[in-house]
Amino acid sequence: MDLSNINPVLLIASIMISATPILLAAIGEMVVEKSGVLNLGVEGMMITGAVIGFIVAINTGAPLLGFATAAIAGALLSLTFGVLTQVFLSNQVATGLGLTLVGLGLSSLLGKPYEGQKTVTLPKLDIPILSDLPVVGRMLFSHDIMVYISLCIVVAVWAFLKYTRAGLILRAVGESHESAHALGYKVIRVRLLAIMFGGACAGLGGAYLSLVRVPQWTEGMTAGAGWIALAIVVFASWRAGRVLIGAYLFGGITVLQLNLQAAGMTWGVQYLSMSPYLITILVLVFISSNRSRSSHDAPANLGQTFHATR
């Protein structure tokens, strides 16, 4: 084993790329769950975003347009979930799982003619001064624009939830929809907007997979990334900053274990791959074992249906 082969600069750079899809999907899902809705359809929205983004990018030659369309597609798909669960009061878990299945099927149908094709990908940014810095320039400041957009979204979500009145309303809806309703807030409208934001973020995450990280379309290419995003939200106990840490940790461990293998380490790699999931389970156990703490973590009305006349 020769650990000196691992270049920390390149390692961190590739972790940032590798974590971006799950970061985007997880931050979107966190907002959805903060509003009290559990949408298990992240995987389906991601893969729909991946295929739509790829199709648009390949036909227009503009990857950024692909990302924009992917976000719209994700939001539209999630809106069907929103209408079913919020207006027709269907079960959120079942509808979310259905959304995943629909997304997987729809994407393989739409993507058939595009298999094996190559697309233009996003260029690496060359930021004046910053990109030329030694070490950090290559590590942090030479990525494509979406990496920075994803970080901006995290900061924006954090600031929105913490400092704005709208953010406070969203949290109120998630904590107690009855009270929020009594105060005159439009619970269903707030939730629908949150769901669409989550769908758009998942669509962006999927498009990042098909346009930058892999860059190609292959059926089923998200391969479970949406479920990891859901785990990250729990791991992060519904806080934006911790979502960032969680996504980089989950993405980082995959990259790290492959790097360790390439450096010649053969023992313990499987345990490392397993660790983020074990940590998630531990966090869940910790949250649910402590009743007084739990009120600070999971939104109190998470996954419950709301009807104004009840």
Partner 1 sequence: MIRRTLLATAAAGLTLAFGAPAMAQDVTKACFVYVGPIGDGGWTYQHHQGALAVKEEYGDKVEIAWQESVPEGADAERVITQMALSGCNIIFTTSFGYMDPTNNVAAKFPDVKFEHSTGYKREHPNVSTYNARFYEGRAVVGHIAGKMTQTNKIGYIGSFPIPEVIMGINSYYHHAKLANPDVELVVTWAYTWFDPAKEADAARAMLDQGVDVITAHTDSTAPLAEIAKEGGSAWGFGQASDMAAFTTNDDGTPGPRIASIIDEWSPYYVKRVGQLMDGSYEQIDSWAGMPEGEVVIGTMNDAIPDDVKAEAQAMIDAITAGEYHPFTGPMNKQDGSAWLAEGETADDGTLLGMNFYVEGITGDIPN
* 110 is an interface residue for partner 1 by CB under 8 A: no
* 255 is an interface residue for partner 1 by CB under 8 A: yes
* 218 is an interface residue for partner 1 by CB under 8 A: yes
Choose the stretch contacting partner 1; rule: CB under 8 A; options: 8-16, 58-66, 77-85, 190-198.
8-16
The total of other beta-carbon atoms located within 10 Å of residue 135's CB is 10
* 7 is an interface residue for partner 1 by CB under 8 A: yes
CB of 255 to partner 1, least distance (A): 6
* 213 is an interface residue for partner 1 by CB under 8 A: yes
* 111 is an interface residue for partner 1 by CB under 8 A: yes
* 116 is an interface residue for partner 1 by CB under 8 A: yes
* 117 is an interface residue for partner 1 by CB under 8 A: yes
Among 20, 21, 172, 187, binds partner 1 (CB under 8 A): 21
* 275 is an interface residue for partner 1 by CB under 8 A: no
CB of 122 to partner 1, least distance (A): 11
Q: Name the residue nearer to partner 1 (CB basis): 120 or 193.
A: 120
Q: Name the residue nearer to partner 1 (CB basis): 83 or 272.
A: 272
Q: Which residues lie near partner 1 (CB under 8 A)?
A: 1, 5-7, 10-11, 14, 17-18, 21, 108, 111-112, 115-118, 120, 209, 213-216, 218-223, 225, 254-255, 258-259, 261-264, 266-267, 269-270, 273
